[in-house]
Amino acid sequence: MRELRVAGHRLEAVHHPPPDPCGPTIVFLHEGLGSAGQWKDFPKRLALRTELKETGGRISAFQAELSKSTEETLRLFRPGQVVVDLGAAPGAWSQYLRRRFAPAGAAAGGLDGRIIALDLLEFEPIEGVEVLQGDFREDAVLQALEARLAGRPVDVVVSDMAPNLSGIESSDAARIAHLVELAVEFALRHLRPEGALVCKTFHGSGYSQQVKLFKDSFRIVKPIKPKASRDKSAETFLVGLGPKPR
């Protein structure tokens, strides 16, 4: 392995063998990853980067591995389901689900299922995904979303909502907790008895109270933090399975 230094950064030239012995050798320049365990995961990271290109770059490495980890571990998503995607922009979850619900994982064409995406921000349309633009905290927006459902129960609620952070710990913790509480409240009202909520949150002040809220609200609770997320990142997801009767 060769080492280069550019502007003070250590770069390593990695020869990644191709699947086809007759194919070309691929060389990547990487900022030093450090541990052998990280190099062991390199083929998986390469596959994730390939997926990002194929999906138009909406999905971060974290989100790509999160959706795969959620699916492999819990098997939440199946064709024919109704899924609500809260905090949907730029469309990572909706795009992943659109492929899950389409024959042969197609990005266009028929869709066996229903995806309703909501966000305050506008984002590029995804074929077959119903998009609502507005602030989920406002009653009028929530009512518009519930009108789309027309009383039909939801199989999975995905909440990727996150507030604009101020850097003031107590204030940010309260904003995060508020969005988690709104997602839980919506899920408890609209999920099927066997439904699930996948909800973004952050480790830090108030996290233990959010875990307690999930345990009080769902029969099974699982935290998920994919390997693609750096150890120092506070971002994580809580998954609640089977809402408890209210």
In contact, 127 and 108? CB cutoff 8 Å: yes
**CB 196, CB 76: distance < 8 Å:** yes
Cα radius of gyration (the chain): 20
Dist. CA 101–CA 57, nearest whole Å:
20
The encoded tokens of residue 178 equal 């508020």
Q: What is the DSSP string of 97-116?
A: HHHHHSGGG-SSS--SSEEE
Concatenate the DSSP letters of all residues of 29-84 into one string: EEE---SHHHHHTHHHHHHHHHHHHHTTT-S-HHHHHHHHHHHHHH----TT-EEE
CA–CA separation, 89 vs 126, rounded Å?
A: 11
- 232 included as an active-site residue: no
Q: Which amino acid is at 61?
A: A
Residues 1/13, Cβ–Cβ less than 8 Å:
yes
Angle of helix 139-149 relative to helix 169-190, nearest 10 degrees? 30
**Residues in contact with 57: Cβ distance below 8 Å, sequence separation at least 6, in sequence order:** none
Per the residue annotation, which of 40, 200, 215, 227 is the catalytic one?
A: 200
Q: Which residues have a catalytic role annotated?
A: 200
